Amino acid sequence: MSAQHAVAAEVRLYDKLFLREDMNSIDDDFKNHLNPDSLQVLSKVYAEPELKNAKLGEHFQFLRMGYFVLDPDSKDGKLVFNRTVTLRDSK
C-alpha cells in the first residue's frame, strides 16, 4: 500500500501500568512505581483505506503490531485505534 492511498490514523499503544509485578511488596506510594511508558501515542500512522469504514467494537490485526480496536474518540474522519493485545510479550 502506498502512502498516497493510505488513511491517517492515531494509534495508542498500551503497556503494563506498573513497573513491578507484585505491588503488594512495595512500602512507599504506588505512584512511584508507575510505568512512564504505559501509553505511547503514535499521532500519525498510515493505515489501509478500508479502515475508514471501521465501526466501534470491531477488532483488527495490524501486522507485526498486535490487535487493535476502534476507539470512541474516533470522529469527524479522525481514526483512533487502541492496541488490545500485542503479538508477542517478552515478559
Closest CA to 19 of 39, 3, 36: 36
The answer to whether residue 61 is domain-embedded is: yes
pLDDT tens digits for range 18-57: 988 888 888 888 888 899 999 999 999 999 999 999 999 8
The answer to whether residue 91 is domain-embedded is: no
Distance, CA of 16 to CA of 72 (rounded, Å): 22
The answer to whether residue 44 is domain-embedded is: yes
The answer to whether residue 56 is domain-embedded is: yes
Closest CA to 68 of 27, 5, 10, 24: 10
What is the pLDDT at residue 89? 63
Find the CATH number of the domain harbouring 34. Answer: 2.40.240.10
How would residue 81 be classed by pLDDT, with cut points 50, 70 and 90? very high
Domain that holds residue 33: 7-85
**Domains held by the chain: number:** 1
The answer to whether residue 23 is domain-embedded is: yes
